[in-house]
Amino acid sequence: MTHMTTDDGVLPALPSFSARRSLRGEITETLRGAVISGELRPGVVYSAPSLAARLGASATPVREAMLELAKEGLIEPLRNKGFRVVELSDEELDEIAELRALIEVPTVRRIAASGPSPDVIERLRPLAAAIEDAAVRGDLIAHVTHDMDFHLTLLALAGNANLVETVRSLRTRSRIYGLRALADRNELIDSAREHAALVDLVAAGDADGAEALMHRHIRHVRGIWAEGSGTVVE
């Protein structure tokens, strides 16, 4: 049975959204990133008022955001207690990585081979830069959020909305528990730079190179989340 603790002193400080618009959406996005990055951990019970205090928001939009994440299967509500992150097994994470590879790798190859226009490619560069900037700052939640935006924007170039939503669901269900250790060792930047390299390959129409890098990138990410769970990936 998974041991449960309260969230007191567990969650690092989250960004304040007191001056930002679309408050509920911003909070949902932030908490989603906190789950995926491992900043919100399985086995810990998080209350809406506690999270609201750390976000600089009221409890109501935080509670609504947590209920939205519960619909996505990331967390589960505990009656009169709060919310708990749903824990995934190594086997489930391996299956997610396998599905992502089956979908994303050939899709990225096809996008590169199609020779997207330069103006379309340029939309990806600020997203790649934002991922690297978050890595430099050690902001794991921003890193995960920008990473999601980058890959979904790239895949959207294939013109298949259902494919994009499928990958969004798979990425949302992922857990990357090793990010904090990687950031603490100043090694997260190397992983972040793979995104800019991928943009260059797609821009050059290098289908073989883009395919190979996307395959390595997914394996790399799987290794990162395994690092946080004690699993060794060859």
Please report the pLDDT score of residue 2 as a whole number.
43
pLDDT, tens digit, 9 for 90 and up, residues 174-226: 877 667 777 777 778 888 899 999 999 999 999 999 999 999 888 877 666 55
Following CA atoms 29, 32, 38, 40 in sequence, which dihedral angle do they give, to the nearest 10 degrees? 100
54 and 142 fall within a common domain: no
CATH number at residue 68: 1.10.10.10
Domain annotation covers residue 101: yes
206 and 161 fall within a common domain: yes
114 and 164 fall within a common domain: yes
Domain annotation covers residue 234: no
User: Please, which pLDDT band fits residue 14 given cuts at 50, 70 and 90?
Assistant: low
Please report the pLDDT score of residue 4 as a whole number.
46
Task: Name which of 94, 102, 104, 101 is nearest 154 in CA terms.
Answer: 104
Following CA atoms 69, 71, 72, 75 in sequence, which dihedral angle do they give, to the nearest 10 degrees? 50
- Measured CA to CA, the distance from residue 25 to residue 134 in angstroms comes to 20
Of 85, 110, 127, which marks where a domain is finished?
Answer: 85
CATH number at residue 183: 1.20.120.530
pLDDT at 117 over 60: yes
Domain annotation covers residue 232: no
User: Please, which pLDDT band fits residue 233 given cuts at 50, 70 and 90?
Assistant: very low
106 and 48 fall within a common domain: no
Please report the pLDDT score of residue 65 as a whole number.
93
12 and 115 fall within a common domain: no
98 and 180 fall within a common domain: yes
Q: How many Cβ atoms are within 10 Å of 218's Cβ, its own excluded?
A: 19
pLDDT at 13 over 90: no
77 and 104 fall within a common domain: no
User: Please, which pLDDT band fits residue 92 given cuts at 50, 70 and 90?
Assistant: confident
Q: Output the pTM of the full model.
A: 0.80
Of 52, 67, 85, which marks where a domain is finished?
Answer: 85
Full domain range(s) for residue 106: 90-227
Quote the percentage of the chain above a pLDDT of 90. 41
Of 67, 85, 103, which marks where a domain is finished?
Answer: 85
102 and 62 fall within a common domain: no
147 and 208 fall within a common domain: yes
212 and 100 fall within a common domain: yes
154 and 195 in contact (C-beta within 8 Å)? Answer: no
Backbone angles phi, psi at 45, to 5 degrees: -90, 120
Domain annotation covers residue 233: no
Number of domains in the chain: 2
